[in-house]
């Protein structure tokens, strides 16, 4: 697509040059009566310089086509008709062939770049990505290019493609979610903590059968495969509610203290339908992780303050 757009832009430029040249020449002819002039040497000139040279002599520029050339740089004149030194009357046209540059290009070095960056680099050389093979690696970030074929500095034709070997990041170890249903919430919490997963939302629901605090539903379901650090949401029995009493919903809130050279005073303010209230105030070292259980009532937010300054708002 980029190659097509560049080509269209070039054609539009040439058309504009042709129109401007024609207007200038028509004015010159009107005042000179068709005098004869020598055709200048236009080879290796840019389009703008060519236009200027012909306008000075009252001649008209016509670009007949664009060809690849190994000797003439891109957008410069390869050849002309009539030849340099020929005599033409003012107002006549001079035909030129313009270079599209060399058809052969050198493959750029893509190793270490991201896929997005490699696509941009290749586009500048009229090359493209053909295929991508992903491999896991603990030493390179996800989408980093590990190898390429053809290799850097290989000579290829414009429009050719390059195959890439790409990192998919480190190997992800998966965990199998156990069955929490019919366990108590405290038992489920111990299991979740020991498995390196996190509690997401805990919703309470009235129930006439199970005792208060017994897990009735879970997401993800028993047997699901999840990555380390994933969240598990639980629905827990509230027991029998009295008239007018509503079941509560809670969510676990996690925050990691940013890196720094000194400790931070971390404060958390909870905001929900009951209004605002301070729920946490403690000094922490950099990179410490905080976990809090927040009650969700309507739109709920946790405002995090570091040393008294608001740094983040998390909404639930």
Q: Give the tens place of pLDDT for each residue, 218-229.
A: 999 999 999 888
Same domain membership, residue 52 and residue 23? yes
Give the end of a domain, one of 83, 99, 115: 99
Same domain membership, residue 81 and residue 44? yes
Query: 201: exposed, middle or buried (C-beta count within 10 Å: 0-12, 13-18, 19+)?
Result: middle
Average pLDDT score, the chain: 84
User: How does residue 147 score in pLDDT terms, banded at 50, 70 and 90?
Assistant: very high
Least confident interval from 3-7, 88-92, 123-127: 3-7
**pLDDT, tens only, 161-183:** 999 999 988 877 888 999 999 99
Same domain membership, residue 125 and residue 86? no
Give the end of a domain, one of 213, 247, 281: 247
Same domain membership, residue 86 and residue 17? yes
What is the CATH number for 34? 3.30.10.20
Same domain membership, residue 308 and residue 257? yes
Same domain membership, residue 216 and residue 197? yes
Same domain membership, residue 223 and residue 146? no
- What angle, 0 to 180 degrees and rounded to 10, lies between the N-to-C axes of helices 47-57 and 2-32? 10
Give the end of a domain, one of 247, 265, 280: 247
Please state the pTM of the whole predicted model. Answer: 0.39
**pLDDT, tens only, 27-71:** 444 444 568 999 999 999 999 999 999 999 999 999 999 988 888
| Nearest Cα residue to 306 out of 252, 269, 253 | 269
Task: Residue 181: give the domain boundaries.
Answer: 172-247
Same domain membership, residue 95 and residue 36? yes
User: How does residue 242 score in pLDDT terms, banded at 50, 70 and 90?
Assistant: low
- Compare 254 and 72 and report the one with higher pLDDT: 72
Q: How many structural domains are present in the chain? A: 4
Percent of the chain with pLDDT over 70: 87
Same domain membership, residue 177 and residue 214? yes
- Nearest-angstrom CA–CA distance, 251 and 236: 13
Same domain membership, residue 88 and residue 6? yes
What confidence score (pLDDT) does residue 296 get?
81
Task: Show Cβ contacts of residue 65 under 8 Å, excluding neighbours closer than 6 positions.
Answer: 97, 98
What confidence score (pLDDT) does residue 28 get?
46
């Amino acid at each position: 697509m980029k190659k097509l757009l560049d080509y269209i832009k070039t054609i539009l430029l040439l058309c504009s040059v042709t129109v401007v040249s024609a207007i200038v020449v028509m004015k010159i002819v009107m005042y000179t009566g068709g005098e004869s002039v020598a055709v200048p040497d236009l080879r290796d000139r840019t389009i703008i310089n060519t236009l200027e040279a012909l306008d000075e002599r009252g001649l008209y520029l016509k670009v007949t086509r664009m060809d690849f050339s190994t000797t003439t740089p891109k957008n410069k004149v390869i050849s002309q008709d009539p030849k340099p030194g020929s005599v033409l009357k003012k107002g006549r046209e001079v035909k030129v062939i313009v270079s599209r540059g060399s058809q052969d290009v050198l493959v750029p070095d893509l190793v270490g770049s991201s896929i997005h960056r490699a696509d941009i680099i290749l586009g500048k050389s009229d090359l493209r990505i053909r295929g991508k093979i992903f491999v896991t690696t603990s030493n390179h970030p996800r989408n980093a290019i590990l190898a390429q074929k053809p290799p850097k500095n290989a000579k290829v034709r414009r429009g050719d493609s390059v195959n890439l070997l790409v990192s998919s990041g480190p190997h992800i170890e998966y965990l199998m979610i156990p069955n929490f249903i019919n366990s108590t919430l405290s038992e489920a919490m111990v299991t979740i903590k020991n498995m390196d997963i996190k509690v997401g939302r805990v919703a309470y629901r009235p129930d006439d059968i199970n005792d208060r605090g017994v897990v009735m539903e879970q997401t993800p379901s028993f047997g699901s495969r999840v990555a380390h650090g994933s969240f598990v949401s639980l629905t827990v029995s509230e027991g029998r509610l009295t008239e007018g009493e509503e079941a509560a919903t809670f969510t676990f809130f996690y925050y990691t203290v940013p890196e720094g050279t000194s400790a931070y005073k971390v404060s958390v303010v909870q905001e929900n339908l009951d209004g605002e209230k301070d729920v946490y105030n403690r000094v922490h070292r950099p990179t410490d992780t905080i976990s809090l259980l927040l009650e969700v009532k309507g739109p709920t937010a946790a405002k995090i303050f570091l040393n008294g300054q608001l740094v983040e708002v998390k909404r639930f």
